[in-house]
Amino acid sequence: MKSLTKKIFAVLLFLAIFLITGCKQGIVYNEITLTGAFRNASNTVKIFTEKAQSEEKLAALKKDMDSILINLDMLFDIQGTYKDSELMQIKNQAGIAPVEVSSEVIYVIQEALKMSERSIVDGVALFDPTIAPVWNEWDFPNNVYDECFVDLGMELSLEEIDEIKAAIQATIEAGLVDYRNIEINLEESTVFLKKAGMEIDLGAIVKGYAADKIKTYLIEQGYTSAVIDIGGNIQILGNLADQPFKVGIRTPYKKWCNIDYNENYEPLDETYGTIMVI
């Protein structure tokens, strides 16, 4: 009994020292949940400060950051939420005429094209911003192909999958997925898709761009420590109590097992395909 009492006392003493040390560090955790822009992605910002932020201040931060996401969604939406988004206008004029767009849209498309060039394997770009027609054939919001959903009766049958694969193959053979068919005219500030039926989907890159803009905003507001998560795209600002943030990388193929960690806290950490950052 005395031995057990000593162990309990030791644990309580350790916790007391730990809590006192934590208070001395004076780190306050503030989490802000943002609007579900970009296909209703989960968007959160965690800000670490020395003093507690008032509810009014946090509300003002949320309003400003929501505005950043909404404005970007109005430019890059392809789901019909904003029928006059610049990407929707480009889609509607595919194979017909160039569309004048903002410098911001041109910039993100250019970055996507650079990523396409960097992702080429055996002559095929593994990252292609004209993938939207394939997304549409899959109808991902409604058709699920994931063992996690089998028990919910949401999985596709093999026959349905074969039909979708055939439709996707026809789309590819028609040349509707080829980043080289995106034509940018910098002098006229226009974007043109050379084939009717083509469509640009920048969802894989614009969320990272949004995280970058929010980081810039937080710096302008005087914050020095934050973790920004825009739909799984992680942007890090500064560090936490003089220690670098640890960013995990994981794959869904092994029940969401973490496969690597990165303590590089300045650049944008973003992955493509099935790999994601946490």
Q: Tell me the C-alpha distance between 129 and 74, whole Å.
A: 18
pLDDT in tens, 163-219: 999 999 999 999 999 999 999 999 999 999 999 999 999 988 999 999 999 999 999
Closest CA to 276 of 181, 190, 207: 207
Strand order, beta sheet including 99-100: 99-100, 190-193, 182-185
Query: Do 27-75+205-277 and 96-201 come out as alike in CATH topology?
Result: no
The answer, yes or no, to whether residue 151 has pLDDT greater than 70, is no
What is residue 98's predicted lDDT score, i.e. its pLDDT? 98
The architecture CATH gives domain 96-201: Orthogonal Bundle (1.10)
| Residue bearing the bigger pLDDT, 69 or 253 | 69
Give the pTM: 0.76
| Two tokens, residue 87 | 């990407």
Looking at every residue in the chain, the average pLDDT score rounds to 81
Q: How confident is the model at residue 141 (pLDDT cuts 50, 70, 90)?
A: low
Lowest-confidence segment of 39-43, 219-223, 232-236 by average pLDDT: 39-43
User: What is the pLDDT at residue 181?
Assistant: 97
Q: What average pLDDT score do residues 36-56 get?
A: 84
Return the pLDDT at 204. 86
pLDDT confidence of residue 50? 86
Per-residue model confidence as pLDDT tens digits over 84-117: 999 999 999 999 999 999 999 999 999 999 999 9
* pLDDT of 259 higher than 70: no
Predicted confidence band of residue 153 (pLDDT cuts 50, 70, 90): low
Query: What is the pLDDT confidence band of residue 41, given thresholds at 50, 70 and 90?
Result: confident
Helix axes 203-220, 55-76, angle to 10 degrees: 150
**235 in helix, strand or coil?**
strand
Summarised one tens digit per residue, pLDDT across range 2-17 is: 454 544 444 444 444 3
Sequence ranges of the domains in the chain: 27-75+205-277, 96-201
Average pLDDT for 33-54:
84
| Nearby residues of 151 by Cβ (< 8 Å), 6 or more positions away | none
Residue 94's pLDDT is: 98
Alpha carbon separation from 254 to 123, 201, 259, 269, 274 (Å, rounded): 30, 28, 10, 21, 11
What's the pLDDT at 242?
Answer: 80
pLDDT of residue 20: 36
The domain at 27-75+205-277 falls in which architecture? Roll (3.10)
Task: State the pLDDT at residue 231.
Answer: 87
